[in-house]
A and B are shown apart, each in its own frame.
Chain A
Amino acid sequence: MMRKSVAFLYNQKVAPYVFVLPFVLTFLIFFIYPVITTVQMSFQDILPGMVNNVGFKNYERLLGDRIFRTAVSNSILYTLWTLLLLIPFPLVFACMLNSRSMIARGFFKTSLFLPVVTSVVVAGTIFRLMFGEVNGSLMNTIRMFFGLGPIKWLRVRETGFAAMVLMACWRWTGVNMLYFLSGLKGVPPEMYESAEIDGANAWQKFRHISVPLVKPTIIYVLTISIYAGLAMFTESYMLWAGNNSPKNIGLTIVGYLYRQGWEQNRMGYASAVGLVLLVVAMAINLVQLRLTGVLGRERD
């Protein structure tokens, strides 16, 4: 009996299932089950010691909730800004570093990359203090150097948001640059040379050779940036030392989920928030994956 079952496991037809088993278990226990529970909870009011079914009420409430709207617009705005800053600039930097007349490539690569190894907790603390409202904080010192008065960076919508985006740029520019550098490695130098013979200038080479050839990389970076942007939470949490930024400058969708579910104990409502985000994230990513062809290829 025992031997038989062992032999069964060693069967070449069975082995693949043994190999993928850990994933299947994780998928069922820590993905499917939580998703189903979230869907179920989003139709409930969950109070200590009692649960009521409320149908679509949580979703109706979401439609009328103005703070949720702030959270959604913050998340989208943050995502857009990170796309706008964290794709073109790293791409140009990568092209410059890739240029043959560049020296000390390794050093600059490393130094731009270094910020990402700091944890968000530490980076958030550094940026919170750098953007402090006291006169002596780094950013206010810089302002004063230019003859401007100190400002309360993290309390004003524009500057607070800028600090958040800047922190993302600080941490991720180097990473995205590396992605593009590896994409550029696949470009044969002869292509540039022949372009030069045809009289192409730097911009034309960038526009007509580099960009089209790193397009798959661009799409990949786009996908992970959208994902990371929509799911952003810890950055804001650390920058304001908590989930309650002034005027909800830094409130994101996940931050709102956290506030409702954990801080205000409305788990049903929080679940509805989560599902909205889930649907949005999945829709965007499916479109992305279709465009890159990853999904299509898997289906052979």
Chain B
Amino acid sequence: MKRLAALVLVFAMVFVLALGGLASANPTKLTLWTFIHQHARFYQVMTEKWNELNPDRQVELEATVLPYDDMHNKLQIALQSGVGAPDMCDVEISRFPNFLQGVPQLMVLNDAFAPYVDDIVPSRLGIYSKDGNMYGAPTHVGATVAFYYVDILEDAGVDYRDIKTWDDFAEAGRKLKAVHPDKYMGIAETSAGWTITAMLAQQGSDLVSSDDQPQIDTPEMLRAVTVLQNMVAEGIITTCPDGQPDTEGGKGFLDQGNVAGVIMPQWFMSRYLDEIPSMNGKVAIAPVPVFEEGMPRSLGLGGTGTVVTLTASDQDLASAWLAYAKLSEEGNRMIWEDLGFDPCNTALWTETAMTHNPDNAYNQYFLNNVFDVLNEVKDEIVMIRSSSISPTINNYVTTVMLNELFEDMLDPAEVLEDAQYNIESQIF
């Protein structure tokens, strides 16, 4: 009786396997969550390309766009409880450390990435890794650059190419103020840390120390925030609605032509194209000003690491598809052409057919070519540290500290001391 049962079972399994083999021409459904519409569109395009190349491993992608907070919260709880997670998910860099704590409930992607890793900037893979295991596929380098509104700078007799240091930046601001008293040279962010982080990186510092401790109350930080606060006090730069450029209010503020210089990662150029129409043909891109010439002029900021969850239905297919979509040369090409981001395959940065394509909408919008700038600073691009304490630090810096500095104009030394103390009280 038992033997018969075993026999039936074996037959059944063979049958199922055979069926599976036959059915492989049918697309396998993969689910993916993201919080950006453009990403969903990009993934669909890459799925078409994948299906052309892999007739026997067809993919049907179901990409759902959820609000930022909501998506991360739900993924977190779904992974915790082991039910309800999608096969793949975009995880924003500042939330990523939460998912690497304990035993990550994510697929190790080393094997899937192996065919492509040699072309990819290692630090961008490293930021989504733990103990030598890669868990996330990066989207872009996110090299920080300066976006200048050339028309009003010319009114003030400023050539944006001459702005090399923060002193130059402040001086340009003073000239601008003389001509356009209602315009500002830049934005002091209060709900994001783009500029602050860039200024720290220039001095070789970071919000997190190499031994995973918060380092807020440092001379480097003091120097950075003092420079910014002085410019705010002088009226050269200003805080903006919603606290930073990459928000509804911030983009509206830029669209009104209020600001001459914006320090943002390269990917912000896609926001110009989509949501800041009035600046078309008026903006040039340049390296970020530094404290002293010779300091590194760029760092990679922002980004999403796409993960495959441990509960994914077809883990192998999902990882292979993901690696292809985001790390292959075709994928990297699309990341620039469709999304307007600086791809992690930096070899492509010098391929002029792609980078200087005159039909490219991004190239048409801006006065100069972004890759000329990127290639200039390529070897200076620093990477920030990301650790399990980063979410706690970021939260405090972007809700409390920067507001105290640039809205309330409190004494920087005291604010930093306070911040260090308060953040430490939350870390354990």
The residues of A with any CB-CB pair to B shorter than 8 Å are 46-50, 57, 61, 64-67, 132-134, 152, 155-156, 242-248, 259, 262-265, 267
Contact = CB atoms under 8 A, between A and B. Distances in A.
B425 A155 contact: no
Interface residues of B, number: 36
Contact of A65 (B77, B98, B407, B425): B425
Contacts of A61: 428
23 contacts: A46-B80, A47-B101, A48-B104, A49-B104, A50-B103, A65-B425, A66-B421, A66-B425, A67-B422, A67-B425, A67-B426, A133-B241, A155-B407, A156-B407, A244-B191, A244-B398, A244-B399, A246-B191, A246-B403, A262-B73, A262-B76, A264-B98, A265-B98
Contacts of B101: 47-48, 265
Q: In the complex, which of the residues B102, B249, B396 has the most CB atoms of chain A within 10 Å of its own CB atom? A: B102
B241 A132 contact: yes
Contacts of B191: 244, 246
A109 B77 CA distance: 45
Given A47-B101, A50-B102, A156-B407, A265 B243 contact: no
Interface of B: 69, 72-73, 76-77, 79-80, 98-99, 101-105, 190-191, 239, 241, 243, 249, 391-392, 395-396, 398-400, 403-404, 407-408, 421-422, 425-426, 428
A248 B403 CA distance: 10
A244 B76 contact: no
Contacts of A242: 69
Contacts of B80: 46, 48, 265, 267
Q: In the complex, which of the residues B243, B399, B400, B404 has the most CB atoms of chain A within 10 Å of its own CB atom? A: B399
Given A47-B101, A47-B102, A48-B105, A246 B425 contact: no
Contacts of B396: 67
Contacts of A134: 241, 249
B287 to A, nearest CB: 31
A242 B104 CA distance: 27
Nearest to A242: B69
Given A133-B241, A262-B77, A264-B391, A243 B69 contact: yes
B203 to A, nearest CB: 26
A8 to B, nearest CB: 38
A251 B36 CA distance: 27
A24 B5 CA distance: 45
7 closest A-B pairs by beta carbon, nearest first, are A47-B102, A49-B103, A262-B73, A265-B98, A50-B102, A48-B102, A246-B403
A259 B395 CA distance: 10
Nearest to A46: B80
A263 B69 contact: yes
Given A66-B422, A155-B403, 16 more contacts: A47-B103, A48-B80, A49-B104, A64-B425, A66-B421, A134-B249, A152-B407, A155-B190, A155-B407, A246-B191, A246-B243, A246-B399, A246-B400, A246-B403, A265-B98, A267-B80
A204 to B, nearest CB: 48
Nearest to A60: B428
Contacts of B98: 264-265
A134 B242 CA distance: 10
Contacts of B104: 48-49
Nearest to A69: B425
Nearest to A54: B428
Nearest to A267: B80
A47 B191 CA distance: 28
Contacts of B239: 152
B407 to A, nearest CB: 5
Contacts of B77: 262
Q: In the complex, which of the residues A48, A64, A248 has the most CB atoms of chain B within 10 Å of its own CB atom? A: A48
B395 to A, nearest CB: 7
Contacts of A50: 102-103
B403 A247 contact: yes
A13 to B, nearest CB: 42
A64 B399 CA distance: 20
B173 to A, nearest CB: 21
A264 B105 contact: no
B79 A48 contact: yes
Nearest to A241: B242
A244 B400 CA distance: 9
A65 B396 CA distance: 13
A46 B421 CA distance: 25
Q: In the complex, which of the residues A64, A259, A262 has the most CB atoms of chain B within 10 Å of its own CB atom? A: A262
Nearest to A152: B407
Nearest to B70: A262
Contact of B395 (A57, A264, A267): A264
A132 B243 CA distance: 12
A48 B99 contact: yes
A18 to B, nearest CB: 33
B94 to A, nearest CB: 11
B400 A48 contact: no
A290 B99 CA distance: 47
Given A48-B102, A66-B421, A265-B98, A246 B73 contact: no
Nearest to B73: A262
A263 B407 contact: no
A49 B102 contact: yes
Q: In the complex, which of the residues A66, A132, A265 has the most CB atoms of chain B within 10 Å of its own CB atom? A: A265
Nearest to B79: A48
A230 B304 CA distance: 36
A244 to B, nearest CB: 5
Given A156-B407, A246-B190, A265 B399 contact: no
Contacts of A66: 421-422, 425-426
A266 to B, nearest CB: 9
A245 B426 CA distance: 18
Given A46-B80, A48-B79, A48-B101, A246 B407 contact: yes
Contacts of B399: 244-248
B240 to A, nearest CB: 9
A265 B79 CA distance: 11
Nearest to B401: A247
